[in-house]
Structure 1
């Protein structure tokens, strides 16, 4: 289970669904069922909000993709099915989208047009970051 907070709203990923609450705890909405189609999830994990437009990015771990929803949790798009193997965390910035792939312990860097720019591999001799879950949440606390 992960959560993201933006614009007085809380988004939680858990049990094949995304929950949306107001900061005061009032329930707003829920989307998602088990599966591999639009608004269907298999192990939704990392979740974050693009502060520039309110889009909700969800790491759909066992479907090997990222689903993008509007801030009202309407389906917008998805990507990564042919590139990602176990996306566990995501961080959109002004210029790039960083995705942590837990299976390969790899950081993928995409531009805003979702074109892969670079892969940084962590697993290997002398680079022992294995299964780096929650990397971006900790990075945001540090920076």
Structure 2
């Protein structure tokens, strides 16, 4: 079943291909959902978390956990809302550094998967190229 969001932006910031079949990319996205990495920055430890939501009934997004396994329930096209959250970890508390949101559309092209990325809003310090790097690193 196609998972399309009817308000997906008409103009995208970036389009690129992943050298993996559609089902493999869906499985990769499912593995990446709700994961985090911790890196040392200038101010201390920074936790980077990634969350995926998938289009539901063309008008909204639902948490990815409710639709697993994706490869069995999604075909042809899938729209996602991706949140990349960065939090500074201090001994006293956790301080939000930035939150970036993107729309991601993946399209089945046989042995390849076409990806379209558009930033949702103007907040955050990441752009579509950062999301491309993350997806290519995890899925290829």
Compute the TM-score of the two structures, normalised by the length of structure 1: 0.26
TM-score w.r.t. length of structure 2: 0.26
Higher relative contact order (CA 8 A, sep 6+): 2
